[in-house]
Structure 1
Amino acid sequence: MDNTKQSSKSFTFMVIGTAWMFDAMDVGLLSFIMSIVHKEWMLTNSQTGLISSISTVGMICGGFYFGSLADRIGRKNTLIITLLTFSIGNLVLAAAPGFYTFLAIRFIVGMGLGGELPVAATYVADMYRGSKRSQMLILADSFWAVGWLVASFLSVLFAPVLGWRGLLILTALAGFFALVLRRHIHEIHTLPKQSSEWRSTLKSEFKPWTITLWIAWFMVMFSYYGMFMWLPSILIDKGYGVVSSFGYTTIIVVAQLPGYFCAAWLAKRIKVKYVFSIYMLGTAVGAIMFGQSTTALMIIIAGCVLSFFNLGAYGAIIALTPDLYESTIRGTMTGIAQGIGRIGAIAGPLLVGILMDHQASVNIVFIIFMISLVIGSIAVLTLPAASKGSKE
């Protein structure tokens, strides 16, 4: 019986992990698609950055709305709705006739994605207790690296044949397959018959340290999206072709996996907020290294340092947030925190686009990210221990 229960739990964990995988696939594919659309529609760098930013506006709205919905109608039903929004949205996006239509549809796709991660994190937090919860949340985030690698290979293998529209259709079809799997998971907690919408919950549950949690979320997303959404373009600007930039990007992404595993190992031994702080400082070092890289070897080493630490920090903040709240408000407050953080995901890529339009050096760009990472590292240290309700 125990083996059956453990197998069921493992299956559920793998299914929930697809939320991170699809989020990364979308971000990864978009980073490659952006360069294609940039040329096809003759966009400026600022307009190209706007594609990423408008997606993130949708993610903010999705995090707020679907996080609250998960506390009202359940995690499973909400995860099904978010994936439907994402998959159908990508099918429609594949038929977008121009830039402004593309932006409008990307907003809808972003809403689905924005709801995926906070609800998935809430579900995993409901499944485990104590340090095991932190470890499993970090490991769940490691599905992100898998998703990015899938996106990279899809881009190289199918983009020349199918184009960016075909890539979006493939992503949508994969989403529909995952949807079938999600129908077989079950709710873990019986939720209250009546739950407040996100504004009321935020008003009643707001604490002074909530601001520092939001700052930490803002800084990790500002740095991640700002650096990695533009990574292929930055590599090309440094003099490396599309094929070479794909190879470098793949190596850099592979470095994310040991970053996650080491963060999960640390989370069993020290508080998760310390893991986050350490990893943010490590990312700051990587940002300086990357900005000053002048050879292929230096780029690979600096990029691996960036990936190892930045994604480990991402996993740590995802592990930390649900643990601060009781299960009855966990979806809402996690969704709000990630939604606020995604404002940084808007600002990061947009800032890089503007700076590149004004011929700013890559070194200056990465110094800005280094400063933001240090701020995030300090902010998270003020957070309290897990709430009593989170240890149920």
Structure 2
Amino acid sequence: MTGEATDDAGTIAARIERLPLSRWHVRVRLLIGLVTFFDGFDQLLIAYALPAIRAQYTLDTADVTLTITAGSVGMLVGAALSGWLADRAGRVRTLTWCLLLYALTSVLAAAAPDVGWVQGARFLQGIGIGGEVLVAAAYVNEIVGAGRRGRFVLVYELAFVFGLAAASLVSAWVVPAFGWRVLFLVGALPVVLAFVLPRQVPESPRWLAARGRTAEAAGIVDELERRARAQFGTLPEVTPVAVAPARRPRLADLFTGRYLRRTLVVSVLWFVAFLVNYGLTSWLPTLYATVYRLPLDTALRYSVVTMAAGLIGCVVLALTVDRVGRRPAMAVCLLGGALVLGVAAWVSPGTGLGVMLFVSAASVFVFAVNLGLNLYGPELYPTRSRALGASVGGIFARLGVIAGPLLTGALVGTGSAGGGGIAPVFTALAVASGVAGLVLVLFGVETARRPLETLSP
């Protein structure tokens, strides 16, 4: 079948569903993965730069909390705006705008003359960071068929986790040797991708078809089929996919019919997963250095171990999510994280090493949930409002990003390990993770191996 102007959204979707994974898919995943890698890298830089910034500007606990949360508030704004933009202006265009914003404002952070400048730059950078990861997830979900979607998307999403891990590795070397400003200059490197992305990555055919631009969508799918035939030979027959009539995206659609329950469930999951993740990781380098009196290089190395542990959990989820299913896999992660954190609260480790071991064990589960939601969230909504739905989830994620560090700062105390301690933090995060796990088990929808159009008409 070749594309014609008469192709409708159902035909476009059916043609995408029958495509095997080709070299084109791998190349596009790699390019968008690079953008998302640096998104993850830039997102966590402040956690590793903060001990040095704190020492330079003599920050108190309130200053530290504001410096952490400034970027998180920006991510909240980015999450709120990006879905609306992506469903109207296009996935690739919005991705490019987000990339330029988070890369260029990293230069502003590096040039900061005072901590207020750092906070302002991080707010602006957060807008780009918070928008990019959600729109990219929607795009990657839309270019692959149902049978391979889970592993394909999550292997792409590993780029974000590798970015987080790279931030810890690079920081452990750069900050002690060259200072925190150079770290932010490294974070500006992806600006070159803004010139590559629009030329090498086509717009999502599903989005084009949902907007009534079926001739453009068919032209892109024609090219994908040509590439697939050159690589694999004969393609499978097209299996018809029913698609609801095209209409403009509306925020109200996310809170009516089947989508109301989905939005409520995924909002709880986004909030809790990011609250637990950032409640654990955002303060760690500072806690190691101030509460447990560890040298800065040791604190940063401990953070590397935690990131590596989280990466292991993400890889396991990516390799099993199509076979096991989204709901069982993420429920195990949430409940497993709750169990580890509950044990940590009971043991109440009094050394930095003990804290690192428990946090690393919890990160195996917690990081995997954060990764899985970037697959699961976009699957729950129709193409016309997929980015908008992911944006609503992203808003709750960013609220979790804000609430996690605030909760940790309030519970851990500002003195020694005995001045509040970290056990109350573990207790609160264990309860939150357990509640989210139960919500997913009781009310979640399984999305594995189902075409997007039939799953979310």
Q: Kindly state the Cα deviation for residue 3 of structure 1 after the two structures are TM-superposed.
A: 12
What is the root-mean-square deviation of aligned Cα atoms in Å? 2.6
Return 5+ residue gaps in structure 2 as ranges.
1-17, 213-245
What SS class does the counterpart of residue 102 from structure 2 fall into? helix
1:207 aligns with 2:260: yes
1:363 pairs with 2:426: no
2:182 corresponding residue in structure 1: 166
Query: Which residue identity lines up with residue 117 of structure 2 in the other structure?
Result: T
CA distance in structure 2 between the partners assigned to 1:330 and 1:44 by the alignment: 42
Which residue number in structure 2 is paired with residue 384 of structure 1? 445
Shift of residue 121 of structure 1? 0.4
User: Gaps spanning 5+ residues in structure 1: where?
Assistant: none
Q: Using the alignment, how far apart are the partners of 1:316 and 1:3 within structure 2?
A: 24
Give, in whole Å, the separation in 2 of the partners of 1:209 and 1:202: 8
Seq. identity, %: 23
Equivalent residue for 1:316, pick from 341, 354, 372? 372
2:48 counterpart of 1:32: yes
Residue 193 of structure 2 aligns with which residue?
Answer: 178
Aligned residues: 390
| Counterpart check, 1:254 vs 2:270 | no
- In the TM superposition, 1:287-326 aligns within 5 A as 287-291=341-345, 292-294=348-350, 298-326=354-382
Alpha-carbon distance in 2 for matches of 1:208, 1:350 = 28
Deviation at 1:92, TM superposition (A): 1.7
Tell me, in whole angstroms, the C-alpha distance in 2 between the residues paired with 1:59 and 1:70.
16
Between 1:258-267 and 1:314-323, the stretch displaced more is 258-267
**Secondary structure of 1:207 counterpart:** helix
Q: Distance in 1 between matches of 2:249 and 2:71?
A: 23
Residue 223 of structure 1, aligned match among 276, 297, 313? 276
**Cα distance in structure 2, aligned partners of 1:376 and 1:5:** 34
Residue of structure 1 equivalent to 2:238: none
Structure 1 length-normalised TM:
0.91
Q: CA deviation at 1:30?
A: 0.9
Shift of 1:203: 5.6
Q: 1:94 to 1:197 in 2, by over 3 A?
A: farther
Which AA in structure 1 matches 2:32?
I
Q: Distance in 1 between matches of 2:61 and 2:439?
A: 32
What's 1:275 paired with? 329
Distance in 2, Cα, partners of 1:101 & 1:55:
12
Question: 1:263 maps to which residue?
Answer: 317
Do 2:105 and 2:124's aligned partners in 1 also have CA atoms closer than 8 Å? Answer: yes
CA distance in 2, matches of 1:160, 1:195: 54
Query: How far did residue 354 of structure 1 move?
Result: 2.6
CA contact (8 A) 2:95 2:136 kept: yes
Tell me what 1:20 maps to. 36
Spell out, residue by residue over 1:317-362, the C-alpha distance to the aligned partner (whole angstroms, 9 max, x if none): 2211111111121111101111122101101101212333453211
Distance of 2:426 and 2:194 partners within structure 1: 38
Taking structure 1 as reference, are residues 361 and 86 closer, same or farther at Cα in structure 2, changes over 3 Å only? same
Q: Which has the higher helix share?
A: 1
Partner of 1:240: 294
CA-CA distance at 1:265 after TM superposition: 2.9
Q: Structure 1 counterpart of 2:144, which letter?
A: Y
Q: 1:4 to 1:213 in 2, by over 3 A?
A: closer
Q: Could you tell which deviates more after superposition, 273-282 or 142-151?
A: 142-151
Deviation of 1:297 (Å): 6.1
1:106 to 85, 109, 122: 122
Deviation at 1:227, TM superposition (A): 0.6
Report the Cα distance in structure 2 between the residues aligned to 1:197 and 1:329, rounded to whole angstroms: 5
Is contact 2:21–2:144 with CA below 8 Å preserved after alignment?
no
Q: Is the 8 A contact 2:176 2:297 kept in 1?
A: no
Matched residue SS, 1:55? helix
Distance (whole Å) between structure 1 residues aligned to residue 410 and residue 339 of structure 2: 24
Give the Cα separation in 1 of the matches to 2:39 and 2:162: 11
